[in-house]
Structure 1
Amino acid sequence: MLPEHVHPTAAQAPVIVHQPAPIQHVQAAPVVAVQLGHIPTVQTIVLPDGRAVTGYAINPVQPEPVATKPAVSRAAVNVALGGVGFLTVCGGLLLLTTFIAALAALIQQLIILTAVVFGGWIAVQVLGASRGGTTVNIRKAVIKRNHFHS
């Protein structure tokens, strides 16, 4: 048996209550792949209680940018651009048909002008006075057996 002074009885021993200290969760730093030939810098941080912590400096990981949706859908933009292009083509076709009609009218006027000028020249040649040509005066003519005799 053990002596009494080694094991005190419950009546003689004071009751001591221990309050556990809460464990603070520390976020784990992301693992950063180190490229060969590149040694990261060593950094020392002094904590408020005086302890110094030394380790490699880790750049914080930047989150990838979130793709934003455009305010207007691409289909709507394509339809609008198609409409603008269609109106441009229609305007061009309207100008083209107007140009063709004007060109046809010009060609028609040139043909008429050519016919009038050429016809006038022919009329002057046929009906105009002869210049040094032979003048034939027919006074008495006798027609015998389909021959003209003077």
Structure 2
Amino acid sequence: MALKRMDNMGIVVEDLDAAIDFFLELGFAIEGRAMIEGEWAGRVTGLGDQQVEIAMMCTPDGHSRLELSHFLAPAIVADHSKDPVNALGYLRVMFTVDDIDETLERLSNRGAQLVGEVVQYQDTYRLCYIRGPEGLLIGLAQELG
């Protein structure tokens, strides 16, 4: 039995509409939006009786997805949005973009803030981290050459 693919990465947000708008601006497409609730869902997550609204977002190449989740019940129990990049656990996601400067300009209109600075690694990449909606840590990479 072999691993087939990574299906999606989940991100919990307070403001689902703002997160959707941000990832649309980055270049994602929305595949769907739904309310996930009921006994079956709670059995999967271990949260019991849950109610969560999700939006499934897809990258332009169709290979990667983000599942944005807004929990109505039970309430969110922790906030990692201000944790630095060296905190334990799943902390950031990185995307390759065509033009890092143009992407930063567009995303700054959606509230994104540069964490450090845009740096160049050899003649291979330009890289940076930004804080997106609700402090989400996102890496951007531009391939050079």
Q: TM-score range by the shorter chain?
A: under 0.3
Higher relative contact order (CA 8 A, sep 6+): 2
- Provide TM-score, normalisation by structure 2: 0.17
- Provide TM-score, normalisation by structure 1: 0.17
Hey, which of these two has a bigger chunk of strand by percent? 2
Structure ID, larger Rg: 1
Hey, which of these two has a bigger chunk of helix by percent? 1
